[in-house]
Structure 1
Amino acid sequence: MKRGVLLYIIFGSLYSCNSADPAVTVATEKKDTAVSCESNMPTRFGTVAADTSLTISDSISHEGMIWIAGNTFGMGAADQECRSDEYPQHTVTVAGFWMDATEVTNAQFRKFTAATGYITTAERKPDWEEIKKQLPAGTPKPADSLLVASSLVFTPPAYTVPLDDASQWWSWKKGADWKHPQGPGSDIKGKDNYPVVHISWYDAAAYAKWAGKRLPTEAEWEYAARGGLQNARYPWGAEEIETGKPKANTWQGSFPDKNTGWDHFKALAPVKSFTPNKYGLYDMAGNVWEWCSDWYDANWYASLKNSNTVNPAGPAQSNDPMEPTVPKKVVRGGSFMCNASYCKGYRVTTRMKTSPDTGLEHTGFRCVSSK
């Protein structure tokens, strides 16, 4: 979901999240609407970039990381449940790498900001000159009182709403950021071991650079999420998410108005709250979406179908046919908001795309290192 999802509402225009990607023809087209809710929304900061002045760590600590031995695997979907951009399955070889066992936590991110003085995207005042480049011509400038540092906060309605309008459960809140996840009056006291959220791709890349690490490629992320289980739909195997014991932090009940909390959490969960996959990685499904380094290209897999690609770094540029003027990066893994009726983002092959200036209450990251 892009950080500007509600700008059309703020500016008095209509915002609508289409119910499905028209290119999707697989069985779940009418059930899974999340791909469109990542699209058709203007970016807010168009040209904000990572802080290139940050100093890279001279030494890399592998504390809290897991070594993933390289291998060859089938990347992408092998069943009929998935979106069109998850096909075809193709052969990929990745070299060994270290990966954070958990999503980056509030405590870890605090050390980064304390050491560098870094200010996240959500904490910066938006630039109208950049915003209007992504809006329809003639869109009037909003009041200065609206052009303030803010972020999108999950605000579930008290009643059932159509699943084709994400504005029903996302709201701009002035002062919402990683330290104030639900806006002013909220904080992260006592939540050092929760994943940091309201993090844009630029924020995640800046942290990784400071730590001497990097963001995972999409291929590395999927290979790691599979935990050595080829063609399994989920990090734990084939068992459906609400069968047996809780396996990940997702949404149970009626999205977005009622979460039963069957998995013991109704919003974010502390890291390591669920059993790791066979590689020892936690929360590769659910909790928060995780940034990858790759640009998103809807046709990328098709271009690789007849070759064994070694350490793919993704396309050279973004290609989102639904929103071609807005560059997108890949996010993976799903979040606490994913439900089978709305978003099965917790599948290991699910690909979502989001503008790099985006940070929301369900978006975080983890890092990798080849050294």
Structure 2
Amino acid sequence: MKIHASKLCALCAVVFAIAGGSILSAPGRQTQKTPPPPEIPGMVYVPDGDFIMGSSESFPYEGPQRRVFLDGYYIDANEVTNAQYKRFTDSTEHRAPAHWKNDEFDSTAADMPVVNVSYHDAQLYAKWAGKRLPTEAQWEKAARGSDSRKYPWGGFWQDRSSNVSYLFGLGGLKPIGILTDGKSPYGCYDMSGNAKEMTDSFFEPYPGCTVKNDKFGREYIVVRGGSYKTSKALATTYSRDIVKPDEIRPDIGFRCAK
């Protein structure tokens, strides 16, 4: 049997393509895609990848700016609320926040961030919920995205996007998630203002930081995001504040990760 030279060349090309796996659009055949991560109610997924952390133009302990890689993780879209924390205290008989009266919060505060809880309280809640507190880096990436934003919504300040104080120390908490213009790239709310948020990281100097700070070490936990009591200068994605693990404050809450 004779095979025409052109047909033989065509046949060889097909065999080579199949062997090399380069035929991607054959009838009935589709390319394999990585399935999306499963959805977890109330949480958003932050995919693996790197981001710019810190700032070299702010307070010395917030720099130097550097690139950090993180594996993918989930983080709460919102701060933990009084209503959510009440389910925890009812279930475990853990002590209620200091400002609740007779272990009950005001009915108007159900959807406001729970505050006046310590780092240890937040850890216990997270464990009860099958979660944990985010690291400082995880918190910042969830707020900042991969494009190095100064604020969760972008590079410039917007009054309608954050619950901060315009007369220092005045103001109050707002229900979670109502400032939709302040949403982060991954879908997190209130990562600028409302309640500061505890992380699971000690206040340590960043790699390459040469400034001295007597607060550096394992005595303080990093809190992030600013609050209704702080100015907008302290409500950036890279702003760092601190609290002792057993300290409670009326402007500090938390969100969880896993």
Q: TM-score, normalised by structure 2?
A: 0.77
Deviations 1:135-180 (A, max 9, x none): xxxxxxxxxxxxxxxxxxxxxxxxxxxxxxxxxxxxxxxxxx1524
Contact 2:109 2:175 (C-alpha < 8 Å) held by counterparts: yes
- Equivalent runs, 1:155-174 vs 2, <5 Å: none
**RCO greater where, 1 or 2, for CA within 8 Å and sep 6 or more?**
1
Among 178, 190, 193, the residue aligned to 1:273: 178
Establish whether residue 201 from structure 1 lines up as the match of residue 201 from structure 2.
no
Q: Equivalent residue for 2:52?
A: 74
For residues 188 and 215 of structure 2, what CA distance do their matches in structure 1 show? Answer: 33
- Equivalent runs, 1:215-364 vs 2, <5 Å: 215-230=133-148, 232-242=149-159, 246-252=160-166, 254-256=167-169, 259=170, 266-275=171-180, 276-297=183-204, 299-302=205-208, 321-323=213-215, 327-340=219-232, 344-364=233-253
Q: TM-score, normalised by structure 1?
A: 0.55
For residues 239 and 185 of structure 2, what CA distance do their matches in structure 1 show? Answer: 19
Flag the structure with higher helix content.
2
SS at match of 1:74: strand
Question: What is the Cα deviation at residue 190 of structure 1?
Answer: 2.6
For residues 327 and 281 of structure 1, what CA distance do their matches in structure 2 show? Answer: 29
Q: Which runs of 5+ in 1 are unaligned?
A: 1-60, 123-176, 260-265, 306-319
For residues 95 and 178 of structure 1, what CA distance do their matches in structure 2 show? Answer: 38
Deviations 1:23-77 (A, max 9, x none): xxxxxxxxxxxxxxxxxxxxxxxxxxxxxxxxxxxxxx92111111111112111
Letter in 2 for 1:76: G
For residues 145 and 90 of structure 2, what CA distance do their matches in structure 1 show? Answer: 34
Contact 1:86 1:301 (C-alpha < 8 Å) held by counterparts: no
Question: What is the Cα deviation at residue 88 of structure 1?
Answer: 0.7
Establish whether residue 102 from structure 1 lines up as the match of residue 78 from structure 2.
yes
Letter in 1 for 2:153: W
Q: Equivalent residue for 1:167?
A: none
CA RMSD between the two structures: 2.4
Question: What is the Cα deviation at residue 300 of structure 1?
Answer: 2.8
SS at match of 2:208: helix
Q: Which runs of 5+ in 2 are unaligned?
A: 1-38
Question: What is the Cα deviation at residue 324 of structure 1?
Answer: 6.8
Share of identical aligned residues, percent?
Answer: 35
- Equivalent runs, 1:91-130 vs 2, <5 Å: 91-119=67-95
- Residue 323 to residue 98, structure 1, CA distance change in 2 (3 Å): closer
For residues 86 and 102 of structure 1, what CA distance do their matches in structure 2 show? Answer: 24
Question: What is the Cα deviation at residue 210 of structure 1?
Answer: 0.8
